[in-house]
Amino acid sequence: MPSVLITGASRGIGAAAARSFAGAGWDLLLMARTLQDLEAVAEPFRQRGRQVGIATVDFADPSAIAPAVAALLASHAAPNVLINNAGAAYTGELAAMTLEHWQWLWQLNLTSVFQVCQSVLPAMRQIGGGQIINVSSHAARRAFPEWGAYCATKAALESFSRCLAEEERSHGIRVSTLTLGAVDTPLWGTETVHASFDRRAMLSADQAAEALLFLAQQPPSQLVEDLTLMPATGVL
């Protein structure tokens, strides 16, 4: 069976992706910060016969990422697909943002992706290839007041993804981005986000998950470099 490694898998898009991939017959490797939440996601799939490996890691801690991925891959086969979904958001004017918050956001939205990719690439190369899908945002291509730091991290993620694709093509590894408009996830209730968008008009996590599965199911002979999925209502 093919397998997928999903970061940020305990809730939101990550948990929805786990459901979609398991339903399509994939085995799962799930990473998130809280063991109890990961187990709650994993157990129903195990009961249905899916192989599920889990590892806890705080993606805000750069020293924790490589060991956590290594431990997971030590007991499970290399994933055919890696989905870098873990991330965060921050609202506030750039002029008033603390350096601590700036560095925290860049660690979660870009540096942790770099670290996970570095940790998975040797195993993926060894099995002859695979696919990496990085979850991005339409904020990478637009300017929104008080979302400047978030916009910058997602723009950098797009560039990182394109460069990684060029470097890994010869190893049979394809790199895609899923660029999303607003998705109704727990992100909107976090301490660092203050926004009053109508969540009923947003995409659902299940819609984002189905787009991830679509990208992962493309034949090895072709690549969807970027798939942009927006709410029908447009930019909220």
Beta-strand (E) ranges in 98-229? Answer: 130-137, 173-180, 183-184, 203-204, 226-229
Task: State yes or no: is 90 an active-site residue.
Answer: no
The number of residues making up the chain comes to 236
**In angstroms, rounded to a whole number, what is the distance separating the alpha carbons of residues 100 and 199?**
29
Q: Which residues pair with 6 in a beta bridge?
A: 30, 83
pLDDT higher than 80, residue 9: yes
Please say whether the structural domain 3-229 has been given the CATH code 3.90.740.10. no
At residue 30, φ and ψ (nearest 5 deg) are: -120, 135
Q: What is the pLDDT of residues 152-199, one digit of tens each?
A: 999 999 999 999 999 999 999 999 999 999 888 877 667 777 766 777
Task: Please identify which of the residues 113, 150, 212, 231 carries the catalytic annotation.
Answer: 150
Q: Where are the domains of the chain?
A: 3-229
pLDDT at 15: 97
Q: Is 2 helix (H, G, I), strand (E, B) or coil?
A: coil
**In angstroms, rounded to a whole number, what is the distance separating the alpha carbons of residues 71 and 63?**
14
Residue range 93-103: average pLDDT? 97
pLDDT higher than 80, residue 236: no
Task: Using the CB atoms, write b or e for 142-161: b if 16+ within 10 Å.
Answer: eeeeebbbbbbbbbbbbebb
Cα-Cα-Cα-Cα dihedral sign, residues 231, 144, 32, 175: positive
**In angstroms, rounded to a whole number, what is the distance separating the alpha carbons of residues 103 and 37?**
26
pLDDT at 192: 78
Q: Is 82 helix (H, G, I), strand (E, B) or coil?
A: strand
